Amino acid sequence: MGYLDDQVAAINSPPRRSRRRYLWILLIVVVIAGVTLAAIPARLHTGQVTVVRAEGTLVTGQVDSADSTGSEVIGKALRAAADDPVTDAIVLRVNSPGGTPAAAQEIIEDIEYAKTKKPVVVSMGDIATSAAYLISVHADRIYANPDTFTANIGTIWTFSNDAEWMKKKGYEVEVVKSGEMKDMGSSSRPLTADERDYAQQLVNASFESFISDVLSHRVVNRTAIEDGRVIRGQEAKDLGLIDELGNLHDAEDAASELARTWSD
């Protein structure tokens, strides 16, 4: 049986010359395939757009509730979309009255990271004011509706004084503190003159950082926006605060178009 097996194997095996020819053909096919793959762009732009949402008050952290969204939640979504090979562009859908300066600063870092990978377009909903406008100016393009409320550029710090009410109710508060301003902002007493001046200094410094950032990204007259008023989308377009009037679908189309001419 061993002899017969050897004979069958010899009959079924191609000659050495044929095997060499097959190997050469295979090698040529591999080389051609390699050249063809090398000629294909590293990332084909398919127009795939990922929408990331920034809704409610912007705060730091992992908050994700009906009325607030955390910077870490938004940032994680932005970075995931930026690193996703299937996504060609990002639309940041903003529907927020603003939030804390620190939250805006954290989100801005993630927007800037995303922009190193692919275009980012903002689509404003009902409202995108204060810190929500600040993050928006870092996008490659901004869309808003004619009646979107936006701008509201500035910083505010509100203090409440319940001292008179507490006095009428018979409440008394005794404070032991390590420094004169340690209980600054306590509702049990009004601000002192020094505390009011210091609070104004902090607000002014935050405002200057805010408006300087806006002016570095948008060609707009400072005097037209420094009063901190809310501005309709139509007027915002006229002032240069946004780029185009349109809804989410318009922003997605624009992002897809930007992706076609985007270079990594």
Instruction: Supply 44's token pair.
Output: 């084909």
Length, in residues, of the chain: 264
Instruction: Supply 121's token pair.
Output: 């377009």
- Among candidate residues 71, 130, 136, 256, the one labeled active-site is 130
Task: Please confirm, yes or no, whether 115 is among the known catalytic residues.
Answer: no
Residue 137 burial (10 A CB sphere; 0-12, 13-18, 19+):
buried
Measured distance CA(19)–CA(25) in Å, rounded:
10
Report the number of secondary-structure helices (H) and strands (E) in the chain.
9, 9
Task: Please confirm, yes or no, whether 130 is among the known catalytic residues.
Answer: yes
8 Å CB contact between 128 and 96: yes
Instruction: Supply 226's token pair.
Output: 């420094």
Half-sphere exposure of 240 (CA within 13 A, CB side): 11
Residues near 234 by beta carbon (within 8 Å), at least 6 away in sequence: 146, 147, 245
Measured distance CA(218)–CA(151) in Å, rounded:
12
For residue 154, the one-letter residue type is: G
Residue 259 burial (10 A CB sphere; 0-12, 13-18, 19+):
buried
- Among candidate residues 65, 182, 187, 212, the one labeled active-site is 182
List active site positions.
130, 182
